[in-house]
Amino acid sequence: MCGFSGVCATLLALMRRGESGGSYLVNVALNYYNQWLVGCVGEYPESIWQSLWARHGKQVFRSFDNPSAITGKVLASMLRERGKILFNTSFFETQESKALGVDIKMVKPVINFHGNTIHLGYNVGTRGNGHDEARWPVDLMTEEIK
């Protein structure tokens, strides 16, 4: 959510600059977002927290824990508890990556427009770092930049 709030703040700064001129500083940190969330939105009751923690095995993570290990444990817990909802196959689509020579399963766009007037999606498949020449292509539909 911190990234989302940063995008919103940046868009607001750009709109203000367009309307009023000037320059704006956007400062976003996860801690600021958490302080706002707790201060303005509030917290769930203790009984809710305890129930949620128990359903996920009462796992405890520390600041020095390996992020890769934590991610594996959290994903396994999410799969066990809400896998049918979160990982519903209708939420995903497959896209060919010509650069890698494989198909990649990815999350579909989360919004759509009435009458399909605008189609959201990716036109060019994913690739690894350093695969392309370090320049912008003239045509953004270019699959590989050589």
Model confidence at 31, in pLDDT bands (50, 70, 90)?
confident
Whether residue 49 sits in one domain with residue 38: no
Q: What is the pLDDT of residue 114?
A: 82
Q: What is the pLDDT of residue 34?
A: 81
Digit-coded pLDDT (tens) for 34-52: 888 889 989 899 999 999 9
Best CA proximity match to 27, nearest among 3, 8, 6: 6
What's the rounded Cα separation, in Å, for the pair 53 and 47?
10
Digit-coded pLDDT (tens) for 53-80: 999 999 999 989 998 889 999 999 999 9
Position with higher pLDDT, 119 vs 51: 51
Whether residue 107 sits in one domain with residue 78: no
Range of the domain at 115: 93-128
In a domain, 13, yes or no: yes
In a domain, 75, yes or no: yes
**Mean per-residue pLDDT over the chain, rounded:** 86
Q: What is the pLDDT of residue 1?
A: 57
Element (H, E) at 104: strand 102-107
Q: What is the pLDDT of residue 135?
A: 83
CB neighbourhood size of 61 (10 A): 12
Whether residue 35 sits in one domain with residue 2: yes
Whether residue 78 sits in one domain with residue 49: yes
Q: How many domains does the chain have?
A: 3
In a domain, 23, yes or no: yes
Whether residue 49 sits in one domain with residue 39: no
What's the rounded Cα separation, in Å, for the pair 18 and 16?
5
